[in-house]
């Protein structure tokens, strides 16, 4: 189980780095960046969809849904980059902001939920 989580975490991090790399490479080699972002978004999407929110709180589940919306926006960004529409920058920026917010808020919510669970058991 731990190896599976570790592997998912590694794929998740590599995918995020590929998405960032694609955004940078686009200004030098747009034809290469298209394929880099597609690889990154596919990995990021697969890991996001296969790792649901582990807690039971409604807020945590809503935050996870925000994260899924961000993943879908990343898919839209990859498509827009692939068909040479400059709007990919805006959708990727919105996705990055939503991802940052949801990731931080989910970890805080899960930690709070775990603390409440521990206090309830004592």
Per residue, the 3-state secondary structure of 45-95, as one string, reads HHHHHHCCCCCCCHHHHHHHHHHHHHHHHHHHHHHHHHCCCCCHHHHHHHH
Element at 101 (helix H, strand E)? helix 88-121
Residue with tokens 């991802």: 99
Tens digit of each residue's pLDDT (9 = 90 or more) over 41-75: 999 999 999 988 888 889 989 999 999 999 999 99
Q: How many CB atoms lie within 10 A of CB 72?
A: 14
Gyration radius (Cα) of the chain, Å: 16
pLDDT exceeds 90 at position 3: no
| Confidence (pTM) | 0.87
Share of the chain above pLDDT 70, in %: 96
């Amino acid at each position: 189980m731990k190896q599976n989580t570790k592997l998912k975490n590694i794929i998740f991090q590599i995918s995020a780095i590929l998405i960032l790399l694609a955004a940078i490479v686009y200004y030098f080699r747009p034809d290469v960046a298209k394929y880099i972002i597609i690889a990154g978004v596919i990995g990021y999407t697969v890991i996001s969809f296969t790792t649901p929110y582990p807690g039971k709180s409604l807020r945590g589940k809503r935050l996870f849904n925000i994260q899924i919306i961000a993943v879908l926006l990343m898919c839209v960004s990859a498509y827009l980059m692939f068909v040479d529409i400059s709007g990919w920058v805006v959708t990727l920026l919105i996705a990055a902001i939503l991802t940052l917010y949801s990731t931080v808020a989910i970890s805080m919510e899960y930690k709070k939920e775990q603390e409440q669970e521990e206090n309830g058991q004592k």
